[in-house]
C-alpha cells in the first residue's frame, strides 16, 4: 500500500467569528455583576439585604459544588465541611484572640490552609487509588459528619452545640457587607465561567464523560481531581470565613451533612453545570425560605420540598436554562484552525532506522518487549508465557479466535497493574506497576475495540484534550489553533471529520467515532500504538485509506504498531508480521503467507481444539527457542567474518 496520502494533508482553515461573541458574553456578564453589586444597596431594604448577604456567601460554596459535580461528575456532600472550617476560623480567632485586622488576616490564611490540607487528605483517600465514584461520594458524606462531631465535642472552645456568638468582628454597614459578598461572588463566578469554557476547563468535562480515556491520553486523573478539590475547598472556606465574620454566629450546622445536602439541592434547582444556576438556586431558596418561614412556619419546608421534586421531574436541567431560553440562541462551539504540528520527532527519528533491514538504536528505543507475560484470574490462566519483541517500523498483526486473549494482552501491555507475571518494556522503559497515564508518557497509544471517546465534547475539544501532554492548555481562553501531527490530520481528512470539528462526538456515526478515537491516539505522537479493530464500522474505501495511514505509521514514521483485526484480508495488506494467539499462548510468529499455509492455524480456526492443543504444545518450545535466539543475536555485536588461509580477499 502506498503512503502518498500523507504527503500534504488537507486542513480546515475556517475563521471563527464566534470567539468575539463569547468575549461579548463575558463583558455583559461582568457589567451585570457590577450593576447588581453597586445598585443592590439602593434596591433592597435592610431585612432583604441581611438575607441576601448570607445567601451570596452560600452561593459561593454552591458554585464550588457545581464545578465538582456539574463539570467533573463528582457528587460531593463535603463542601459544607470546608465552608464550616472557614466560618469556625473566624469565630474561634475573634472569640479567643480578639479582633484586629492582623488577626483577621491570619485567621483567613489559616482557614484557607486548613481547608486545603483537609481537601488534599480527602482527595487522596477518594481518588488516589482509583476508587469508584460511589466510594468518593461516601467519603465526602463522612467528612461533614466527622467535623460536626469535632465541633460538638470541643466544649467551651468551640461552643459545642450552641456554637460561638457575640464576638467582635468588622465594623461595617450592611451596604458594605453586601458589596463585599456580591463582589466576591461575582469574581468567583466569572473566573469559574471563564475557566470551564477554556481549553483547560474542557478537561473537567472529559473527566466526567470518560475518566478511563483521560488516563489513556496521559492525564493523571487522580491528580487533576485532587487539585480541583483543593482549590474548591479553599474557595468554600473563604466564603465561610466571610459568613462567620458577617453574621457573628457560627454553629456546628455550618459543617454538617444537612447543609452539604442543601448545597446540592441549590445546584440541582438552579441548573447543574451552568455556574450561574447555583447562584440563582441559592438566592431564590434562601430569600423564599426567609419569607415563607415567617408566614408558614410549619409548611414552608414542605413547600420547598415539593418545589424541588417538581423541578427535578419537569426541569431536569434546572431553572436557569428555562429562564434564559427566550434570550439564548444556540451557539455552536468555536472551531479552531487545524495546523500541522512539527513532525512526530521521536517516532520519526526512530522510524528512519526501522525502515531498513537492520534497525538502529532509534528503532530499538521505539519498540516493545514482552517476556513471560501472564494474566490469571484465580486458577484461570488467560495468558501464559507471552514472549514478544517488536521494533519501530514494524506493523504486527495479532490474530486468533474469539477468547484467545488478544484484548487481555493489550491491557497487560498498556497497564502495569493488569499483569499477573512477566515484564513489559516500552521504548526502553520498564513498565512495572505503572498505570496507563505513565505508559502513555513512555510512548504508548491505545485504541480500544469500541470507540472510547468523550460523548458530550466536540471533535475539536476531544482532539485538544489529546494534545494536553504536548501543549499546556490555557485556563483563560480557547486557542484558535489546533496543531496535530500529519497522520492524525490525514485520518480527519479521509473521514470528513475536519469539516465537522464542532459536531458533538455522540452525534457522529459509528465509523466516524472510530476514526475520531484513532485521531486522538495519534495526536499523542506515540511510538508504540495498540490498535484493537481500528476499521470496525468503516466503509470499504475508508478501510483502504486507514490501511494507508497505518502502513505509513510503521514504514514512514517508524512507529511500532500492534494490530488486532478479524479482517484477514486487511491484515494481509498492512501487516509486516503475523502473531497467532490461541488459548492465551503465542502459537505462531511469521509472515502472512506462512500463517495462511499453516495446518495449525487452520485447525485452530476450524474449531478442533484437542488437535490444536497437541500441536500448540509441540510448537510452543520451538517458538520460544527462536525468540531467545533472536534476542541473543540482537544483543551480540556484529563481528566480521575471517576468511580461511589462502582464500582470495
pLDDT, tens only, 193-223: 999 999 999 999 999 999 999 999 999 999 9
How many C-beta neighbours within 10 Å does residue 611 have? 14
Q: What is the pLDDT of residue 21?
A: 64
How many C-beta neighbours within 10 Å does residue 437 have? 19
284 exposure class (CB count in 10 Å sphere: 0-12, 13-18, 19+):
middle
Q: What is the pLDDT of residue 577?
A: 92
Q: Which of 543, 328, 527 is nearest to 444 (CA)?
A: 527
Please give the Cα distance from 331 to 507 (Å, whole number): 17
Strand-strand pairing, 577-582 and 585-590? antiparallel
Per-residue pLDDT tens digits for 98-153: 999 999 999 999 999 999 999 999 999 999 776 778 899 999 999 999 999 999 99
Residues 6+ apart with CB under 8 A from 535: 514, 542, 543, 546, 547, 565, 567, 570
Q: What is the pLDDT of residue 50?
A: 95
Q: Torsion angle of alpha carbons 27, 30, 35, 38, nearest 10°?
A: -140
**SS3 label, residue 373:** strand
**SS3 label, residue 35:** helix
Provide the β-strand partners of residue 579. 398, 589
Grid coordinates representing 423 are: 515484564
Please give the Cα distance from 75 to 78 (Å, whole number): 9
Q: Can you state the angle between helices 540-555 and 486-495, rounded to 10 degrees?
A: 170
Q: Which of 118-122, 329-333, 569-573, 609-613 has the highest mean pLDDT?
A: 118-122
The yes-or-no verdict on residue 622 having pLDDT over 70 is no
Residue bearing the bigger pLDDT, 547 or 250: 250
Q: Of the given ranges (441-450, 595-604, 629-638), which has the lowest mean pLDDT?
A: 629-638
Q: What is the pLDDT of residue 536?
A: 78
Q: Of the given ranges (150-159, 457-466, 485-494, 625-634), which has the lowest mean pLDDT?
A: 625-634
Q: Residue range 357-361: average pLDDT? A: 37
Please give the Cα distance from 366 to 561 (Å, whole number): 10
How many C-beta neighbours within 10 Å does residue 321 have? 15
- For CA atoms 445, 451, 456, 460, the dihedral sign is positive
Residue bearing the bigger pLDDT, 333 or 465: 465
Please give the Cα distance from 525 to 530 (Å, whole number): 13
Q: What is the pLDDT of residue 457?
A: 95
Chain-wide mean pLDDT for the chain? Answer: 85
Q: What is the pLDDT of residue 218?
A: 94
The domains of the chain, with CATH numbers, are 25-324 (1.10.3470), 366-634 (3.40.50.300)
Q: Which of 546, 550, 526 is nearest to 535 (CA)?
A: 546
The yes-or-no verdict on residue 191 having pLDDT over 70 is yes
Q: What is the pLDDT of residue 347?
A: 41
Please give the Cα distance from 518 to 446 (Å, whole number): 9
**Polymer length of the chain:** 649
The yes-or-no verdict on residue 623 having pLDDT over 60 is no
- The confidence band for 645, taking pLDDT boundaries of 50, 70 and 90, is very low
| DSSP code string of 182-195 | HHHHHHHHHHHHHH
The yes-or-no verdict on residue 359 having pLDDT over 80 is no
Compute the radius of gyration of the chain from its Cα atoms.
31
Q: What is the pLDDT of residue 366?
A: 64
Helical segments of 1-65, H only: 18-43, 46-65
Cα distances (angstroms) measured from residue 273 to each of 69, 119, 201, 525: 8, 21, 12, 32
Cα distances (angstroms) measured from residue 179 to each of 54, 248, 345, 639: 12, 18, 54, 83
Per-residue pLDDT tens digits for 462-473: 999 999 998 889
Q: Can you state the angle between helices 101-123 and 79-97, rounded to 10 degrees?
A: 150
The yes-or-no verdict on residue 555 having pLDDT over 60 is yes
Per-residue pLDDT tens digits for 388-411: 999 999 999 999 888 888 999 999
The yes-or-no verdict on residue 261 having pLDDT over 90 is yes
Helical segments of 197-340, H only: 199-209, 211-215, 221-247, 257-270, 276-295, 300-314, 319-324
Residue bearing the bigger pLDDT, 83 or 567: 83
The yes-or-no verdict on residue 351 having pLDDT over 70 is no
| pTM to 2 decimal places | 0.86
Given strand 577-582, what is the order of strands in its sheet? 444-447, 528-532, 560-564, 395-399, 577-582, 585-590
Please give the Cα distance from 19 to 29 (Å, whole number): 16
Amino acid at each position: 500500500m502506498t503512503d502518498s496520502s500523507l504527503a500534504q494533508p488537507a486542513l480546515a482553515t475556517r475563521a471563527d467569528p464566534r470567539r468575539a461573541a463569547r468575549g461579548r458574553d463575558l463583558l455583559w456578564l461582568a457589567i451585570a455583576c457590577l450593576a447588581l453589586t453597586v445598585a443592590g444597596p439602593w434596591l433592597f431594604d435592610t431585612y432583604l439585604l441581611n438575607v441576601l448577604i448570607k445567601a451570596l456567601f452560600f452561593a459561593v460554596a454552591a458554585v464550588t459544588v457545581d464545578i465538582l459535580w456539574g463539570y467533573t461528575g463528582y457528587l460531593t456532600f463535603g463542601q459544607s465541611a470546608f465552608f464550616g472550617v472557614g466560618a469556625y476560623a473566624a469565630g474561634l480567632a475573634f472569640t479567643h484572640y480578639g479582633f484586629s485586622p492582623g488577626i483577621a488576616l491570619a485567621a483567613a490564611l489559616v482557614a484557607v490552609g486548613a481547608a486545603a490540607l483537609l481537601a488534599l487528605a480527602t482527595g487522596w483517600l477518594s481518588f488516589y487509588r482509583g476508587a469508584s465514584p460511589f466510594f468518593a461520594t461516601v467519603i465526602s458524606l463522612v467528612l461533614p459528619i466527622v467535623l460536626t462531631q469535632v465541633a460538638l465535642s470541643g466544649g467551651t472552645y468551640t461552643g459545642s452545640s450552641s456554637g460561638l456568638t457575640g464576638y467582635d468582628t468588622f465594623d461595617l454597614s450592611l451596604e458594605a457587607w453586601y458589596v463585599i459578598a456580591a463582589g466576591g461572588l461575582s469574581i468567583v463566578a466569572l473566573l469559574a465561567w471563564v475557566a470551564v469554557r477554556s481549553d483547560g476547563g474542557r478537561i473537567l468535562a472529559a473527566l466526567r464523560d470518560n475518566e478511563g480515556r483521560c488516563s489513556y491520553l496521559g492525564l493523571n486523573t487522580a491528580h487533576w481531581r485532587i487539585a480541583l478539590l483543593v482549590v474548591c475547598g479553599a474557595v468554600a472556606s473563604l466564603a465561610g470565613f466571610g459568613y462567620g465574620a458577617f453574621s457573628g454566629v457560627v454553629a456546628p450546622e455550618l459543617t454538617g451533612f444537612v447543609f452539604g445536602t442543601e448545597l446540592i439541592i441549590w445546584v440541582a434547582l438552579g441548573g447543574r453545570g451552568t455556574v450561574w444556576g447555583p447562584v440563582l438556586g441559592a438566592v431564590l431558596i434562601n430569600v423564599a425560605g426567609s419569607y415563607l418561614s415567617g408566614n408558614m412556619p410549619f409548611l414552608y419546608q414542605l413547600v420547598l420540598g415539593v418545589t424541588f421534586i417538581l423541578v427535578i421531574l419537569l426541569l431536569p436541567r434546572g431553572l436557569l436554562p428555562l429562564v434564559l431560553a427566550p434570550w439564548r440562541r444556540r451557539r455552536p462551539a468555536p472551531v479552531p484552525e487545524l495546523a500541522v504540528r512539527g513532525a512526530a520527532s521521536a517516532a520519526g527519528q526512530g522510524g528512519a532506522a526501522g525502515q531498513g533491514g537492520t534497525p538502529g538504536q532509534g528503532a530499538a528505543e521505539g519498540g516493545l518487549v514482552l517476556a513471560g507475560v501472564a494474566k490469571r484470574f484465580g486458577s484461570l490462566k488467560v495468558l501464559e508465557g507471552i514472549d514478544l519483541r517488536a521494533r519501530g517500523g514494524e506493523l504486527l498483526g495479532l490474530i486468533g479466535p474469539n477468547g484467545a486473549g488478544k484484548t487481555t494482552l493489550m491491557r497487560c501491555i498498556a497497564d502495569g497493574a493488569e499483569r499477573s507475571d512477566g515484564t513489559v518494556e516500552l521504548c526502553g522503559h520498564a513498565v512495572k506497576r505503572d498505570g496507563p497515564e505513565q505508559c502513555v508518557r513512555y510512548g504508548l497509544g491505545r485504541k480500544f475495540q469500541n470507540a472510547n471517546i468523550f460523548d458530550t465534547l466536540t471533535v475539536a475539544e476531544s482532539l485538544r484534550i489529546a494534545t494536553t501532554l504536548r501543549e499546556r492548555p490555557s485556563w483563560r481562553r480557547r486557542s484558535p489553533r489546533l496543531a496535530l501531527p500529519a497522520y492524525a490530520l490525514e485520518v480527519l481528512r479521509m473521514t470528513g471529520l475536519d469539516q465537522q470539528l464542532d459536531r458533538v462526538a455522540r452525534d457522529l456515526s459509528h465509523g466516524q467515532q472510530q476514526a475520531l478515537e484513532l485521531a486522538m491516539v495519534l495526536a499523542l505522537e506515540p511510538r508504540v500504538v495498540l490498535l484493537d479493530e481500528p476499521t470496525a464500522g468503516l466503509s470499504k474505501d475508508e478501510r483502504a485509506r486507514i490501511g494507508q495511514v497505518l502502513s505509513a505509521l510503521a514504514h514512514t514514521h517508524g512507529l511500532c504498531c500492534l494490530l488486532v483485526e478479524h479482517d484477514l484480508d486487511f491484515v494481509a495488506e498492512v501487516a509486516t508480521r503475523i502473531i497467532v494467539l490461541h488459548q492465551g499462548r503465542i502459537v505462531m510468529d511469521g509472515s502472512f503467507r506462512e500463517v495462511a499455509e499453516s495446518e495449525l492455524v487452520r485447525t485452530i480456526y476450524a474449531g478442533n481444539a484437542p488437535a490444536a492443543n497437541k500441536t500448540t504444545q509441540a510448537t510452543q518450545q520451538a517458538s520460544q527457542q527462536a525468540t531467545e535466539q533472536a534476542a541473543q543475536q540482537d544483543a551480540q555485536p556484529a563481528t566480521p567474518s575471517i576468511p580461511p588461509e589462502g582464500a582470495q580477499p
